[in-house]
Structure 1
Amino acid sequence: MAPILEVKNLFKNYGATEVLKDINVSIEEGDFLVLVGPSGCGKSTLLNCIAGLEPISGGELFIGGQNMTNVSPKDRDIAMVFQSYALYPTMTVAKNITFGMKVRGIDQATQDAKLKQVAAQLQIEPLLHRKPGQLSGGQRQRVAMGRALVRDPKLFLFDEPLSNLDAKLRVEMRTEIKALHQNLGASMVYVTHDQIEAMTLATKIVVMKGGIIQQIGSPAEIYNRPANLFVADFMGSPAMNLIPAKTRRDNGGTVIEIARKEGDPIVLTDPKNADLPEDVILGVRPEDIADPASRTRDDAQVAECVIDIVEPAGADTYVVMQLGGKHVTARLHAETTAKAGVAQPLAFDLGKVSYFAPETGQRLN
């Protein structure tokens, strides 16, 4: 079966400026693809190219196995949910949701049935007779989603739909979108700059920077095996620690030396990784630097680190120290005894570390 969406060698130029460079990505039916990256990386432009709102400068685009490269947006069998909601202010919620069906000449009975189904899914039945000006931001976003859902398209496109909502409502709506995807089995492409949204919603993530795809993978692949320093730093909250280090081989494996602010360097031994260059960037997630009493893996190694800052955060406590000339964050239990200015033994889980080349930023292991 053909992918539900396939983008081949896509380029997009604005005059002499190249904003998308050789984009290749595909998803299967039922996938939830999230395009994520910083502002200006090209993710919304790519979404607009998929929708047909922006003509592409090169390459091809297929939806449901059909070439849609030069097809009008209305003929692509897509539905789009915008950041701005794009609701008609003079129409009721019910009319906003059914307007597209009315324009396409769908009979009233079908319109009513679709409206009832979608209103129940989104829990907006009491709002159907209100107008957008009488709704909260979260309610407006539900209506915008309802308008897309009644289309029953091949592909749903979401352009940062939650960015106008407050933090609590964003979490609630994120959960609703996830549940909708699971219940409908629909194919979705979703744009966000929020890496937590990307990790929680996606079945497949595309990380972009400067109009170039940096990595494509599942949330677990992106998080655990970032392809380069940019992905390692961008994906994760707090971000992966990226620590300059020296390596050398001995009989027990690869010895890793990390400079401390004062005194001798930390010395760790990774028994599994060979053929690393002398200079590396060691990537380690905050949760993989732990209190020794809580370590569960045999390859966690303990080193003394002077704590600079202690940040209680409810269920966890974050501590910050200087290693390799960088601020390094560890995620400890709330009950930790760590104190600022005091040396603390910490266990580094070498089974989960990443190594990157300082010159290129590319992953080495």
Structure 2
Amino acid sequence: MAPILDISKLQKSYGATHVLKDINVQIDEGDFLVLVGPSGCGKSTLLNCIAGLEPITGGSIHIGGRDMTHVSPKDRDIAMVFQSYALYPTMSVAKNITFGMKVRGVDQATQEAKLADVARQLQIEKLLNRRPGQLSGGQRQRVAMGRALVRDPKLFLFDEPLSNLDAKLRVEMRSEIKKLHHSMNASIVYVTHDQIEAMTLATKIVVLKDGVVQQIGSPSEIYNKPANLFVADFMGSPAMNLIPARAEPEGGATRIEIDREGAAPIILHDPHASGLPRDIILGLRPEDIAEAGFRAGEDVQEAQCLVDMVEPAGADTYVMSRLGGTGVTARLHAETIARPGEQMTLAFDLGKVSYFEPGTGTRLN
């Protein structure tokens, strides 16, 4: 079966400025694709290219097996939800939702049936006679989603739809969007700069930087096996610890040496690693550095670390130390007793380690 969206060798330039460089992405029907990256990476431009709001400089875009590269936005069988909601201020909620159907000549009975269905789904039945100015940000967001849902398109496009909402409402709306995706088996392309949003919503993530795809994968692939230092640092909160270290073969294993301030280096032995260059960056998520005795297994190795700072955070306590000349964060349980200036034994889970080449940033394992 043809992918619902197939982007091939897509290029986008404004004059001499190359904004998107050789983008190749495919998703199947029912996929939830999230485009994520820092501001200015090209993710909204890519979404606008899919929508047909921006002409592309090279390559092609197929939606539902049809070449849409030069097709106008209204004929692409897509529905878009913008960050600004883009509602008509003088129209009621009901008219905002049905306006597109009216323009396309859909009969009144169908309009009313679809409106009732979507209003029930989004729990906005009581708002249908109000105007957008009388609604909260979250309610406006639901109306914008309702207007997209009545289209029943091949592809939904969301451009940072939650960025105007407060933190609590964002979490609620995230759940709503996830539920909608499951109940409708909708195919969605979603832009965000929030990597937590990306991890919780996506079936597939594209990480962009400077118009170049850094990695495409499932949330767990992106999180556990980042393709390079940029992805490792960008995805995850707190970010992955990236510690300069030295590697040497020793027997059938690799000996890893990490400098400590005011003490001999930490020595770890990785039985699974081989063929590493001498200078490496060792990557470990904060949750993969535990308090001694709290994690068992042949890949877990302990070392004394000087506590730099302690941050209680409710369910977790974050303990910071300095290793390899850089700050390192361990995510420990809430009852952890740690004091700045004192030594603490930490357990490093080398079964979860990522190794990177310092110069290119490429993943080595």
Q: Which residue of 2 aligns with 1:185?
A: 185
Q: Which residue of 2 aligns with 1:164?
A: 164
CA distance in 2 between counterparts of 1:332 and 1:318 reads: 6
Q: Which residue of 2 aligns with 1:228?
A: 228
Higher mean Cα deviation, 226-235 or 244-253? 244-253
Q: Which amino acid aligns with 1:345?
A: T
Q: Which residue of 1 aligns with 2:138?
A: 138
SS of the residue aligned with 1:296? coil
Describe how 1:30-49 pairs up with structure 2 within 5 A. Answer: 30-49=30-49
Higher mean Cα deviation, 248-257 or 321-330? 248-257
Q: Which residue of 1 aligns with 2:128?
A: 128
CA distance in 1 between counterparts of 2:298 and 2:219 reads: 26
Q: Which amino acid aligns with 1:103?
A: V
Superposed displacement of residue 261, structure 1: 1.3
CA distance in 2 between counterparts of 1:28 and 1:351 reads: 32
CA distance in 1 between counterparts of 2:219 and 2:262 reads: 38
Q: Which residue of 2 aligns with 1:341?
A: 341
CA distance in 1 between counterparts of 2:247 and 2:130 reads: 66
* Paired-residue identity, %: 76
Superposed displacement of residue 292, structure 1: 1.7
Conserved in 2, the CA contact under 8 Å of 1:289 and 1:331?
yes
Describe how 1:271-290 pairs up with structure 2 within 5 A. Answer: 271-290=271-290
Describe how 1:282-321 pairs up with structure 2 within 5 A. Answer: 282-321=282-321
Superposed displacement of residue 294, structure 1: 1.3
CA distance in 1 between counterparts of 2:330 and 2:147 reads: 45
SS of the residue aligned with 1:294? coil
CA distance in 1 between counterparts of 2:135 and 2:49 reads: 31
Q: Which residue of 1 aligns with 2:93?
A: 93
CA distance in 1 between counterparts of 2:125 and 2:294 reads: 49
Superposed displacement of residue 296, structure 1: 3.5
Q: CA deviation digits over 1:153-196, x for unaligned, max 9?
A: 00000000000001110011001100110111000000000000
Q: Which residue of 2 aligns with 1:59?
A: 59
Q: CA deviation digits over 1:231-266, x for unaligned, max 9?
A: 000000000000000011111510100001111001
Q: Which amino acid aligns with 1:118?
A: V
CA distance in 2 between counterparts of 1:222 and 1:274 reads: 23
Structure 1 residue ranges, 4+ long, deviating more than 3 angstroms after superposition: none
Q: Which residue of 1 aligns with 2:255?
A: 255
Q: CA deviation digits over 1:128-152, x for unaligned, max 9?
A: 0100000000000000000000000
CA distance in 2 between counterparts of 1:81 and 1:43 reads: 15
Q: Which residue of 2 aligns with 1:326?
A: 326
Q: Which residue of 2 aligns with 1:209?
A: 209
Superposed displacement of residue 293, structure 1: 2.1
TM-score by length of 1: 0.99
Q: Which amino acid aligns with 1:138?
A: G
SS of the residue aligned with 1:59? strand
CA distance in 2 between counterparts of 1:142 and 1:54 reads: 26
Q: Which residue of 2 aligns with 1:241?
A: 241
Q: Which residue of 1 aligns with 2:362?
A: 362
CA distance in 2 between counterparts of 1:65 and 1:86 reads: 29
Q: Which amino acid aligns with 2:153?
A: P
Q: Which residue of 2 aligns with 1:154?
A: 154
Q: CA RMSD in A?
A: 0.6
Superposed displacement of residue 318, structure 1: 0.3
* Runs (5+) with no aligned partner, structure 2: none
Q: What is the count of residue pairs matched by the alignment?
A: 365
Q: Which amino acid aligns with 2:203?
A: T
Q: CA deviation digits over 1:56-107, x for unaligned, max 9?
A: 0000100000000000000000000000000000000000000000000000
Q: CA deviation digits over 1:254-293, x for unaligned, max 9?
A: 0100001111001100001011000000000000000122
CA distance in 1 between counterparts of 2:263 and 2:225 reads: 32
Q: Which residue of 2 aligns with 1:219?
A: 219
Q: Which amino acid aligns with 2:159?
A: D
Conserved in 2, the CA contact under 8 Å of 1:252 and 1:269?
no
SS of the residue aligned with 2:174? helix
SS of the residue aligned with 1:21? strand
Q: Which amino acid aligns with 2:10?
A: L
CA distance in 2 between counterparts of 1:360 and 1:283 reads: 15
**Counterparts in 2 of 1:116 and 1:5: CA distance versus 1, 3 Å:** same
SS of the residue aligned with 2:269? strand
Are 1:15 and 2:15 an aligned pair? yes
CA distance in 2 between counterparts of 1:143 and 1:150 reads: 11
CA distance in 2 between counterparts of 1:17 and 1:251 reads: 51
Q: Which amino acid aligns with 1:272?
A: H
CA distance in 1 between counterparts of 2:302 and 2:253 reads: 17
